[in-house]
Amino acid sequence: MTAFLKLLARNRLALAGLIVMGLVAGLALVTPILPLADPDVTDTANRFKPPFSEGALLGTDHLGRDLLSRLLHGTRLSLAVGIAAAVVAATLGAAIGIIAGFYGGRTDNVIMRGVDMLMAFPYILLALAIVAALGPGLMNALIAVAAVNIPFFARNIRGITVGIAHKEFVDAARLSGMTDARIILTEVLPNVVPVIVIAMSTTIGWMILETAGLSFLGLGSQPPQADLGSMLGEARSALISNPHTSIVPGAMILIIVMAINLLGDGVRDALDPRLRSGALSRPLPATEVRRKGPVPAHDGEGLLALRDLETRFHVKDRVYKAVGGVSLSVRPGECLGIIGESGSGKSVTALSVMGLVASPPGVITGGAVYYDGQDLIGAPYSTLRRLRGEKVAYIFQDPLATLHPLYTVGDQLIEAIQVHHPVAKSEARARAIDLLKSVRIPNAESRIASYPHEMSGGMRQRVGIAMALANDPDVIIADEPTTALDVTVQAQILAVLDDLRRDRGLAIVFITHDFGVVAQLCDRVAVMYAGRIVEQGRTDEILRAPAHPYTSKLMECVPELGEGRRRLEAIPGLPPLVDRLPDGCAFAERCHRVQPDCRQGELTLEATNDSRKVRCRHPEPITRERAS
Amino acid sequence: MAGYILKRLLSAIPVLLGITVIVFLIMALIPGDPATAILGSYATPENVEKLNRDLGLDKPLVQQYFIWLGNMLTGDFGTSFALNRPVLDEVLERFNATLVLAGTAFVICSVLGVAAGVVSAAQQYGLADKAITFVVLLGISIPSFFLGMMMILLFSVNLRWFPVSGMWPIYGARDIWALLDHLVLPALALAVVATGVIARLARSAMLEVLRQDFIRTARAKGVPERRVIWGHALRAAMVSIIPVLGIQAGFVLSGAVYIEMVFQWPGVGRMLVDAILKRDILLVQGGVVFVAACYVLFNIAVDVAQSLLDPRIKT
């Protein structure tokens, strides 16, 4: 509770709302003992006195009554009626909701049908119908406003109650022989009350507005008694000649409702955990770049070359070093594998290339990415945009989430072509069909009109590949494109990619956690751990003799056909948290070859021959040969 | 699709019946004798008895309901006492005026609200977002009737841009320009609250969608940001915005009553308030049932629009 209040207090707008509301409520409370004129005494000789006149701070109305006094008494009345309506609606609505949710079945069905019927009415119309039946009057307006809000509460509370009614503690209470009434009062109600309070805090503003509205129409408080709404209604006829009589009560309603809304928003924000974590912030079109050190120069190697790339996530006051200085390069026609466990930074490395890391919270803090000699990290958005999909294309994991659910796959392919090439739609469509055929989708002509949800996982993944190929790019970055697929489909997809690389001279960066896949497709491989490359070299060399203990452990995780005797090893422990990387080697904690000096100083990526690099002080012995 | 529409129309029948039951029950709440309520407390006992017989009020409640329902189904909503005219004629004429007002306001609040929400989300925490958030807060906090009055003061009385009230000029041609001239202020005043509600929801729906993987895919394809926001993201966000548009249509339709009072607009809301004050019960009953029924049908249209937008909905 105190944590909640602290959160609320940190929200400055909500605090302002709270203070204003407190002031207004305080004024309303002390109104009867303030030295004010009688709000209902008419004095027609002094009608329509302007504000700040002698003896009437806010002037007088059409009957010469003191506006300040009427305002404060009206506020008192409006607040009282609004709050009363909220309490009545919340109490009855909650009671109905709890009964429906607790008993379920037929009771629930009948009650909720009725509630749905009531909700089929346009809100204010129902209130008008009720007032029509009961007759104009403040009490009847209160009843009407409360009544039309009951369905809202009933529905919300029912939802919560249904969840609670099946919890273990309720079952336990039932078994212990408690009566239903007692279970509801002692077990259900305490869990529902916070929801009721929140729902009230968000609707009380509406209730005050609605009662004021009915009074404004002449259906609420009757003269001489006046709430803010009827003050405004009476002042309407003098709107043009004496606007202050309208502005005074109208502004008061605005102030009250605005304060309540601010407060309600604050309460909601304080209670919504997603807002607290900042998860609801939108990613920018390109990852934010804040490079501190000098930009590493291009050494001329590779079509796509990463140099000391650093990407971090800034979440509140924590900094997660997701990518801690990665250098890689890939040549045309070459396939480079990046392998590592989940959270090793391989995906973030790949996404950083084209500025696709969600930002906030992602920030590229150092290094460079050279495509064809041009640094992409410092490049303006327009340059990145032009290259994305045209020269460097991505294939993502899980195409059900990565394809737009509401566009046909054809439209998504056509768009991929048309954003880079101004061709006619028919031409783009023909190309799209060719693309689908090239990734071996049967009936491409009819499949083009399908939506992603109408396709199988393997077909969707092919669409993802076809989309990446749409503009005949030079580089394809494939982020675990086969992880969600079964083995036969996976083999087919890998074959498609391998053909494309040979036929079109594509450079492929292939991210995976599966050494089996690396062995099939990749010329070279980089092993990542805790945001850094720990070993890099030609695939066959690394497969034959892994130097880094992490690499060898990772390889032991792959089952091999006909090798039933070998134990399938899991690596003990978990990767370190990248916001608190230990000194020395990040893998030391889990390493079977760990020595005391592994936990000190910075480890560098040392070249062991012209193509091989390893970041380890005590690598696996070279002599150790793997099964050939 | 035709089958889906038919199915939705059929499923509306119990809702429509429910509405008539609720209206009937509410009217049955009228304390004392309805005939006395209609004729006033000075009516002679003979007149009261005759009226009760004419209205069928001497019969049991259930029978009364079915007589009333049967009459309505044949288009007979009864006769208004105060106006001495068939209820249906009066309601239809007034509803026309409300439809012009509420329809315009609905278009305004949908377009402005969605646009404001999208801009706000796209510029999250930026200047535009803060400005829109503030205006939206103001919009959902101001009573529409007060806003209408202030608009009259500013735009009609001081600036003389628009007429003060009414739907048509007293003298002069009743053409579309005259109507538009009279329509601008009330339609805007009516649209403000709904615009705010829609903008808020559109903003959070957009923020939700912008974090999805398919937005990253669109960006990875090289789709220009403007198109990512207004095409890919908005299209997906509309799935959760459209139901709220349906709800807001109800608010605009029934909230028109305040605006009709402020701007002297000859709509069904003002008719209802007058009828309530004059205890013209049949007119109230007929008006409420008619408007509620129209709203139910409108919501079916919303559902159909939703199914057209989202291919994942089984039709």
Separation of alpha carbons B255 and B265, rounded Å: 13
Residue of A nearest to B286 (CA): A129
Please answer yes or no on whether B210 and A205 come within 8 Å at the CB atom: no
Domains annotated for chain A, with CATH where assigned, are: 2-27+69-276 (1.10.3720.10)
Strand A288-289 relative to strand A362-371: parallel, antiparallel, unpaired? parallel
Please answer yes or no on whether B149 and A261 come within 8 Å at the CB atom: no
Please answer yes or no on whether A358 and B211 come within 8 Å at the CB atom: yes
What residues of chain A lie within 8 A of the CB of B214, using their CB?
401-405
- Per-residue pLDDT at A162: 87
Q: At what angle do helices B176-210 and B144-151 cross, to 10 degrees?
A: 130
Cα B102 to Cα A465, B33, B91, B108, B291: the distances in Å are 49, 36, 15, 10, 12
Separation of alpha carbons A494 and A8, rounded Å: 53
Separation of alpha carbons A84 and A87, rounded Å: 5
Residue of B nearest to A280 (CA): B207
Torsions phi, psi of B98, nearest 5? -65, -40
Residue of A nearest to B200 (CA): A265
* Best CA proximity match to A47, nearest among A37, A34, A56, A35: A56
What is the 3-state secondary structure of A34-88? Answer: CCCCCCCCCCHHHCCCCCCECCECCCECCCCCEHHHHHHHHHHHHHHHHHHHHHH
Please answer yes or no on whether A130 and B26 come within 8 Å at the CB atom: yes
Torsions phi, psi of A448, nearest 5? -65, -25
Please answer yes or no on whether A132 and B210 come within 8 Å at the CB atom: no
Q: Chain A: give the shortest CA distance to residue B156, in Å.
A: 10
Torsions phi, psi of A334, nearest 5? -100, 150
What residues of chain B lie within 8 A of the CB of A14, using their CB?
none
Which residues, in sequence order, are bridge partners of residue A309?
A326
* Best CA proximity match to B25, nearest among B289, B227, B283: B289
Please answer yes or no on whether A285 and B225 come within 8 Å at the CB atom: yes
Separation of alpha carbons A492 and A486, rounded Å: 10
Please answer yes or no on whether A356 and B212 come within 8 Å at the CB atom: no
> pLDDT tens digits, residue range B150-163?
999 998 888 889 88
Separation of alpha carbons B208 and B237, rounded Å: 8
Residues of chain A with pLDDT under 70: 1, 3-4, 7-10, 272-280, 484, 558-570, 622-628
- Per-residue pLDDT at A627: 43
Torsions phi, psi of B254, nearest 5? -85, -30
What residues of chain A lie within 8 A of the CB of B106, using their CB?
none
The closest CB to that of B22, out of A118, A451, A453, belongs to A118
> pLDDT tens digits, residue range A57-110?
787 887 878 888 889 999 999 999 999 999 999 999 999 999 998 888 888 888
Q: Chain B: give the shortest CA distance to residue A506, in Å.
A: 17
Half-sphere exposure of A6 (CA within 13 A, CB side): 4
Mean pLDDT (whole number) for B23-38: 74
User: If phi over 0 gives left and psi between -120 and 50 gives alpha, with beta otherwise, what is residue A516?
Assistant: alpha
The closest CB to that of A216, out of B258, B281, B295, belongs to B258
Provide the H-helix boundaries in A470-507: 487-504
Q: Chain A: give the shortest CA distance to residue B296, in Å.
A: 7
Please answer yes or no on whether B137 and A113 come within 8 Å at the CB atom: no
Query: How does DSSP assign A507-529, residue by residue?
Result: EEEEEES-HHHHHHH-SEEEEEE
Separation of alpha carbons A356 and A353, rounded Å: 7
Q: Chain A: give the shortest CA distance to residue B129, in Å.
A: 12
Q: Chain B: give the shortest CA distance to residue A389, in Å.
A: 4
What is the token pair recorded at A402?
A: 């990565």
**A–B: how many Cβ contacts below 8 A?**
232
Q: How far, rounded to the nearest angstrom, does the alpha carbon of residue A230 sit from its chain's CA centroid?
A: 44
Which residues, in sequence order, are bridge partners of residue A613?
A536, A607
Separation of alpha carbons B66 and B60, rounded Å: 10
Separation of alpha carbons A52 and A49, rounded Å: 9
Residue of A nearest to B138 (CA): A258
Is the interface score ipTM higher than 0.95?
A: no
> Are the C-beta atoms of residues B66 and B310 closer than 8 Å to each other?
no
SS3 at position A572: coil
Separation of alpha carbons A341 and A192, rounded Å: 43
Interface test with B, best of A121, A255, A353 (most B CBs within 10 A): A121
* B180 C-beta neighbours (distance < 10 Å), count: 12
Separation of alpha carbons A239 and A250, rounded Å: 12
Q: Chain B: give the shortest CA distance to residue A481, in Å.
A: 13
Residue of A nearest to B232 (CA): A404
Separation of alpha carbons A402 and A398, rounded Å: 6
Q: Chain B: give the shortest CA distance to residue A250, in Å.
A: 6
Which residues, in sequence order, are bridge partners of residue A345?
none
- Per-residue pLDDT at B38: 67
Please answer yes or no on whether B19 and A398 come within 8 Å at the CB atom: no
